[in-house]
Amino acid sequence: MEEPPLYVNTTEVKLCHFALLSWHKQARQPQCAEGSWGGNTEEFNTREEVRGSQLTAMPRLTGPAVLQLVLLLSAVPAQYLLTRWSGASAAQRYHATTRMLRIWKEWRSSYLNSTAWTTWANQQMSHAMSLVGLGQGEEQAHMLPPVETMLYDNDLGFFGASKTVRSPRPPYVFLRVGEVVLERKGNMVGVVVSWDPELKAPQEWINKMYSSSEGVTAERTPHYKVLFSGPGPSSLLVAYLPQTQLERITGMRPDIPTLEHYFTHFDGERFVMQPWLRELFPEDEINDA
């Protein structure tokens, strides 16, 4: 025997579904009555449209929100890479952190430094101007080699590098080539390899080393080229120092690289000059009476 068909009141089903969706928003909820609806059809349609617009509306992404989202998404892979890169032990993590800080300082002093970019731009501009024939006078002013290079040797006569024979020897030049000296400020022991009766250096170096009042006095003071031993076993330090900053010492033989280029041996008091150096300072091996 066939069962009778089941009739469902679709209106009541829709109204009940709407009541379940909106019961938390309204103080007075639509109720499912037996065969009837407690509100009118226009109010129901309006509420359905509002509800549909709320469900379909998408949030707007602003710039800060996008940045925060990118940072959050990159946090996990960044942490994974840092863990793999830094190592497992505390010592490995320490060295990795130190390396990261060093890299950051290098980037900050080069790529993230406005002064470095300004210098680079000026260099490029000067190069471009030189190509078209402009700024040649300024270029000539900057053709001097670096001071660090000229301290070792140069063809301009700066820093005791002059090939002029130092004779006669001025009486106010107290130290001689080959003597062992003590630098008073840093207590460093070195050997004199050249001297000038007065200061001979680029004006840029003089302005950097001396104030305006000191520079006038320093220009009339004898200066000495002195070799010092550097921090490493084969490293060398070269200095150009005034006479007032040096003191003669005897009975000590410092171990300084490249001394064999200037001297033949140490006689117990000072170093004996090579023939080519003796030609430039012929009176420095003659003892004062």
CA dist list (Å): 70 to 43, 59, 64, 66: 44, 17, 10, 6
CA dist list (Å): 288 to 72, 196, 280: 81, 19, 18
Is residue 55 scored above 80 in pLDDT? no
- CB of 183 closer than 8 Å to CB of 237: no
Is residue 213 scored above 60 in pLDDT? yes
Percent of the chain's residues with pLDDT above 90: 32
Residue ranges, comma separated, of all CATH 2.30.30.390 domains in the chain are 147-280
pLDDT value of residue 79? 67
Between 95 and 145, whose confidence is greater?
95
> Dihedrals φ, ψ of 247, to 5°?
-140, 130
Fold topology of 147-280: SH3 type barrels. (2.30.30)
Is residue 242 scored above 70 in pLDDT? yes
Q: What is the pLDDT of residues 16-44, one digit of tens each?
A: 444 555 554 554 444 444 444 445 555 55
Q: How large is the C-alpha radius of gyration of the chain?
A: 43
Which residues does 184 contact at the CB level (< 8 Å), separation at least 6? 245, 246, 247
Ordered DSSP codes for 8-52: --HHHHHHHHHHHHHTTT-SS---EETTEESS-HHHHHHHHHHHH
Q: What is the pLDDT of residues 78-111, one digit of tens each?
A: 666 666 666 666 767 677 777 777 777 777 666 6
Integer Cα distance of 256 and 271 in angstroms: 12
Is residue 137 scored above 50 in pLDDT? no
Percent of the chain's residues with pLDDT above 70: 59
pLDDT value of residue 6? 47
Integer Cα distance of 262 and 276 in angstroms: 8
Mean pLDDT of the chain: 75
